[in-house]
């Protein structure tokens, strides 16, 4: 390979492929337009000036594009974070909120370094499907207020925007359909003088870039104890939402991402955001779907440009952006809802084949998210539910079969299955202590001992036989089970 070819291979795709470059730039522009009303809305939820939400979206997107572990994922101010920190701002003021954002970033860096991303392996597919479906429902529910008590012209504008996004890709995919929809609907409303809610109605746009500074709080232990619970909650909610979104993008793009780097990157982005006076944030799922699934972006360039364009649009083109009808952005988000929802999961054929437990987990996840409006709560509750159902299912597979020796001098029991706290609890009651002969052999070659509860159950069995003057021999333990049994046997109940 020539030096020029090697150098070409080291460059990002967008540097040497005009098509990729165009896709990334236009995707970043569409996401930036969609970020503005969302950031303003989340600022209102947090009880802060809308400018702080826009600053947070700018710094989060720009920083995470460099330090994050998932390419093309969008991070910005989010509703999940706003809900966590709103009480702190309401009770103690903006300075404490900013300090909590910085501390949350520190917590995220520490959690990322400790390997919290590895916990994602315990999130089952049914929870992931529930997460995706509840996300789509929340995105749609967030648009409902924009369709209530509005001029009648809003509804045909939304329908027209949806029609453009459905049919325009059949003409060309060079320009993202959402961008075309936003431009055309804005032009129509301005040219015809149609009075409908606009982006400018959401709040004032910033007129200058943010400047760094320290939070206006006393640097004391009292301040730390005040902000720490909120910061820790924000850190966990932000990481949960970000890691789940990263996994979703992995599935969509058939690529892998570095979840540990993403965790640390989220922390760094929040620290930077806090020092620039932003309200903090995490991965923004709706905008990520616009970027990845609707616009086809795949690189860090789109993430960086989403943040950069956001500030350019606000500072340079503020008057124009303020005139964009909210109906155009509602149409984009409704399209994202339909693109995000896993319709196959509700197909009758899928539901007939799916185990009842898997369906229950999916329903529990969706119900928790929609009820609490917190994706992290749904993921945790859904994962715990899945683990309980799995434990019950596996526990019933542990069986004990008795085989009496022909000469009557030995009773042989064959134990099959996984022995852990759920399956070993009733193991003790499976033996006939009173009528068995003096020698008992328990064959564990088809079983595996997983925890202290199982060792304690085996000890209890031996003790019950010993009380009757009978001896027990355990055979067939694999290496790991034998090691665990040898280390704990006799230590859990004070001996036989």
Mean pLDDT along residues 231-252? 89
CA–CA gap between residue 157 and residue 369 (Å, rounded):
30
Contact 472, 465 (CB under 8 A): yes
Indicate the DSSP class of residue 148.
Answer: S
Q: Check whether 1 has a pLDDT greater than 60.
A: no
Of 62, 41, 63, the C-alpha closest to 52 is 41
Mean pLDDT along residues 348-377? 86
CA–CA gap between residue 471 and residue 467 (Å, rounded):
10
* Ramachandran category for residue 458: left, alpha or beta (phi over 0 → left; psi -120 to 50 → alpha): alpha
CA–CA gap between residue 183 and residue 330 (Å, rounded):
14
CA–CA gap between residue 318 and residue 286 (Å, rounded):
23
Q: Check whether 496 has a pLDDT greater than 50.
A: no
Report pLDDT digits (tens) over 119-158: 777 788 888 888 888 878 887 888 888 899 999 999 999 9
pTM above 0.95? no
Q: Which residues pair with 441 in a beta bridge?
A: 412, 473
- Identify which of 107-111, 177-181, 239-243, 457-461 has the greatest average pLDDT: 107-111
SS3 480: helix
Indicate the DSSP class of residue 418.
Answer: E
Confidence of residue 493 (pLDDT cuts 50, 70, 90): low
Confidence of residue 351 (pLDDT cuts 50, 70, 90): confident
SS3 171: helix
CA–CA gap between residue 210 and residue 212 (Å, rounded):
7
H helix runs in 193-325, sequence order? 221-253, 259-275, 285-289, 300-315, 318-322
What is the structure's pLDDT at 490? 79
As given in the structure block, the two tokens for residue 443 are: 């064959």
Confidence of residue 7 (pLDDT cuts 50, 70, 90): very low
SS3 493: coil
Q: Which residues contact 288 (CB under 8 A, 6 or more apart)?
A: 72, 73, 74, 245, 248, 249
What is the structure's pLDDT at 114? 92
CA–CA gap between residue 451 and residue 89 (Å, rounded):
46
As given in the structure block, the two tokens for residue 37 are: 């009303």
Q: Which residues pair with 413 in a beta bridge?
A: 402, 442
Number of H helices, E strands in the chain: 21, 6
Q: Which residues pair with 472 in a beta bridge?
A: 440
- Identify which of 182-186, 199-203, 234-238 has the greatest average pLDDT: 182-186
What is the structure's pLDDT at 12? 63
Mean pLDDT along residues 456-461? 90
What is the structure's pLDDT at 90? 87
208, 252, 319 from 316: Cα distances, Å:
9, 35, 8
Cα dihedral 94/99/102/103 (nearest 10): -130
Q: Check whether 303 has a pLDDT greater than 70.
A: yes
Cα dihedral 152/144/161/79 (nearest 10): 140
Contact 130, 303 (CB under 8 A): no
CA–CA gap between residue 272 and residue 266 (Å, rounded):
10
Contact 81, 238 (CB under 8 A): yes
Of 161, 231, 245, the C-alpha closest to 196 is 161
Indicate the DSSP class of residue 205.
Answer: P
H helix runs in 144-220, sequence order? 154-171, 177-192
Contact 93, 248 (CB under 8 A): no
What is the structure's pLDDT at 132? 81
Contact 28, 306 (CB under 8 A): yes
What is the structure's pLDDT at 400? 87
As given in the structure block, the two tokens for residue 105 are: 């970033």
77, 89, 104, 289 from 96: Cα distances, Å:
17, 7, 12, 32
CA–CA gap between residue 177 and residue 162 (Å, rounded):
10
What is the structure's pLDDT at 50? 85
What is the structure's pLDDT at 3? 52
Q: Which residues contact 28 (CB under 8 A, 6 or more apart)?
A: 291, 297, 301, 302, 303, 304, 305, 306, 308, 309
């Amino acid at each position: 390979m020539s030096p020029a070819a090697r150098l070409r291979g080291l460059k990002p795709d967008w540097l040497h492929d005009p098509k990729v470059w165009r896709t990334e730039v236009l995707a970043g522009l569409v996401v930036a337009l969609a970020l503005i009303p969302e950031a303003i809305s989340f600022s209102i939820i947090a009880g802060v000036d809308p400018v702080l939400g826009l600053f947070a979206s700018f710094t989060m997107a720009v920083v995470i594009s460099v330090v994050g572990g998932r390419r093309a994922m969008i991070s910005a101010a989010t509703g999940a974070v706003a809900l966590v920190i709103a009480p702190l701002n309401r009770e103690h003021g903006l300075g404490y909120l900013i300090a909590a954002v910085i501390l949350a970033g520190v917590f995220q860096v520490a959690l990322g370094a400790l390997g919290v991303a590895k916990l994602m392996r315990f999130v089952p597919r049914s929870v992931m499907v529930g997460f995706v479906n509840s996300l789509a429902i929340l995105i749609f529910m967030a648009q409902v207020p924009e369709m209530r008590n509005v001029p009648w012209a809003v509804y045909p504008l939304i329908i027209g925007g949806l029609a453009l996004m459905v049919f325009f890709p059949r003409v060309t995919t060079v320009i993202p359909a959402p961008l075309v929809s936003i431009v055309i609907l804005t032009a129509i409303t301005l040219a015809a003088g149609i009075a409908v809610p606009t982006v400018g109605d959401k709040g004032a746009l910033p007129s200058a870039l943010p400047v760094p500074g320290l939070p206006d709080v006393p640097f004391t232990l009292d301040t730390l104890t005040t902000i720490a619970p909120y910061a820790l909650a924000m850190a966990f909610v932000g990481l949960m939402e970000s890691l789940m979104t990263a996994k979703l993008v992995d599935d969509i793009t058939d690529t892998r991402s570095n979840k540990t780097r993403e965790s640390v990157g989220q922390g760094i982005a929040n620290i930077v955001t806090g020092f620039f006076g932003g309200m903090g944030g995490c991965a923004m799922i709706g905008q990520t779907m616009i970027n990845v699934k609707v616009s086809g972006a795949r690189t860090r360039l789109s993430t960086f440009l989403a943040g950069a364009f956001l500030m350019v649009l606000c500072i340079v083109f503020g008057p124009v952006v303020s005139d964009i009808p909210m109906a155009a952005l509602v149409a984009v988000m409704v399209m994202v809802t339909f693109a995000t929802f896993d319709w196959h999961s509700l197909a009758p054929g899928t539901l007939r084949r799916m185990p009842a437990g898997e369906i229950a987990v999916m329903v529990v996840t969706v119900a928790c998210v929609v009820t609490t409006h917190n994706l992290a709560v749904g993921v945790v509750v859904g994962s715990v539910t899945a683990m309980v159902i799995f434990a019950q299912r596996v526990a019933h597979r542990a069986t004990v079969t008795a085989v009496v020796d022909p000469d009557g001098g030995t009773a042989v029991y064959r134990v099959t299955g996984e022995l852990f706290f759920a399956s070993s609890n009733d193991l003790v009651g499976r033996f006939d202590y009173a009528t068995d002969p003096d020698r008992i052999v328990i064959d564990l070659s088809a079983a595996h001992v997983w925890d202290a509860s199982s060792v304690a159950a085996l000890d209890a069995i031996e003790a019950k036989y010993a009380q009757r003057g009978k001896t027990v021999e355990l055979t067939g333990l694999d290496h790991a089970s034998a090691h665990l049994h040898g280390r704990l046997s006799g230590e859990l109940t004070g001996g036989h």
